[in-house]
Amino acid sequence: MGKQNICFLTAWIILGKIFATFSSDLESNTTAFVTIDQLLNTTEWLTDFTDIVSKFSLRTADTPDDDMCYIVPGRPETIKECNFNPETQTFIVIHGWTVTGMFESWVPKLVSALYDRVPTANVIVVDWLSRANQHYPTSAAYTKLVGRDVAKFVTWIQNELQLPWDRVHLLGYSLGAHVAGIAGDLTNHKISRITGLDPAGPTFEHADEQSTLSRGDAQFVDVLHTNTRGSPDRSIGIQRPVGHIDIYPNGGTFQPGCDIQNTLMGIALEGIKGLQNMDQLVKCSHERSIHLFIDSLLNIEQQSVAFRCNSKDTFNKGMCLSCRKNRCNKIAQRCTSRLVERCLSKVKTRKKDVHVKRFEYLSVILK
């Protein structure tokens, strides 16, 4: 029992350090916002690649966990060297804030799932780790600069290859979702689709549309919200709807199997090795958005379905489980219709375990 208490105490100490990172003073880290706002008063920046810090790796289905080849804006030969296929879909994956400064384990899983769905696709992973591995407010401020990098990259490669804009799909997790939104807002043509996987909440809940993911950033913006517990601007994930369709699994506040007691117990039982997973205390519900999206990519025949409904109470009474008149859509697929008025809905998932525990319901807001 004594050994277990020591593990719990150590876990809480590390957790305290993680939360301290989130609570850093933003006032001393606003330089990135000022700099980018000044630069965007002109359009010359779009063709100036000298200040790009982010890297763009074209990963393959055979090596989804390794950066084997980088496409460098301004160097057309790298497009051919990386075997980029201009005739197919291009997915651009953007990670979020990181404590470790390394890619998280979900990245190769998502890459593999995208190739599973579209084997001929190009899956590009954006590496902005050096900026994402700062105190949270600093990394949050950097999203504008990273979004600018991504906008330059997308515009450049589109001009080089005359890529159809309807084949470009950005997928961003946490801070990466806002990076995707900013990039979509800055490109000189509408990107086809942006998928936001639990966009970050702190410093973004009340921000303007130019600083966050919003429905005007692409022709279609779909969002999964999985960690909205807490007061506005204090929850890990953004609470307000920001896309054409906003999905809130299990109400969006918290996900099954992610409670502190269960997570700490699992960490304690693994001893010292378990401490490597301390960030799960913060990101378990947050990261669930990714695993839900991956699940829908891999299980085409049993995808989670969103049903349009007038109210939460109406759904709970079982009165909205119908696909008549385009009243339902599937996660990971584009909506079958654009809804002008917002309405509260729910999503009923299949019974197979997706990550830790069974998902019974997902609530969504459709616009």
Q: Band of the pLDDT at 264, cuts 50, 70, 90?
A: confident
Q: How confident is the model at residue 279 (pLDDT cuts 50, 70, 90)?
A: low
Number of other CB atoms surrounding residue 108 within 10 Å: 16
Distance CA 305, CA 31 (A): 43
Residue 284 pLDDT grade (very low, low, confident, very high; cuts 50, 70, 90):
confident
**Mean pLDDT value of segment 33-51:** 67
- Alpha-carbon torsion, ordered 202, 206, 209, 210, to 10 deg: -60
* Least confident among 74-88, 112-126, 247-261, 301-315: 301-315
Q: How confident is the model at residue 334 (pLDDT cuts 50, 70, 90)?
A: low
Residues belonging to the active site: 174, 198, 286
- Pick the more confident residue, 249 or 117: 117
Residue 365: pLDDT band by 50, 70, 90 thresholds?
Answer: very low
Average per-residue pLDDT in the chain? 79
Of 26-40, 175-189, 226-240, 277-291, the poorest mean pLDDT is in 26-40
> Residue 87: what pLDDT?
95
pLDDT per residue over 53-78, tens digit each?
Answer: 999 999 999 999 999 999 999 999 99
The one-character DSSP state at 291 is H
CATH superfamily of 33-253+284-366: Alpha/Beta hydrolase fold, catalytic domain (3.40.50.1820)
List alpha helices for the chain, DSSP H: 2-22, 31-39, 77-81, 106-117, 129-132, 136-161, 175-186, 260-269, 280-298, 312-316
Report the pLDDT averaged over residues 309-329. 70
34 vs 18, higher pLDDT: 18
Which of the pair, 269 or 13, is modelled with greater confidence? 269
pLDDT of 344 over the 60 cut: no
**Phi, psi at residue 295, to the nearest 5°?**
-60, -40
Only one residue has tokens 């105190």, namely 135
- At residue 100, the pLDDT reads 87
Q: What are the angstrom distances between the C-alpha of 84 and each of 153, 222, 255?
A: 14, 26, 38
pLDDT per residue over 89-147, tens digit each?
999 999 999 988 999 999 999 999 999 999 999 999 999 999 999 999 999 999 999 99
pLDDT at 312 exceeding the cut of 70: no
Among 90-94, 253-257, 302-306, the minimum mean pLDDT is found in 302-306
48's tokens: 């100036």
Question: How confident is the model over 164-204, as pLDDT tens digits?
Answer: 999 999 999 999 999 999 999 999 899 999 999 999 999 99
Interval 5-27 mean pLDDT: 44
Whether the CB-CB separation of 89 and 118 falls below 8 Å is answered with yes
What are the tens digits of pLDDT across the range 219-244?
Answer: 999 999 999 988 888 899 999 999 98
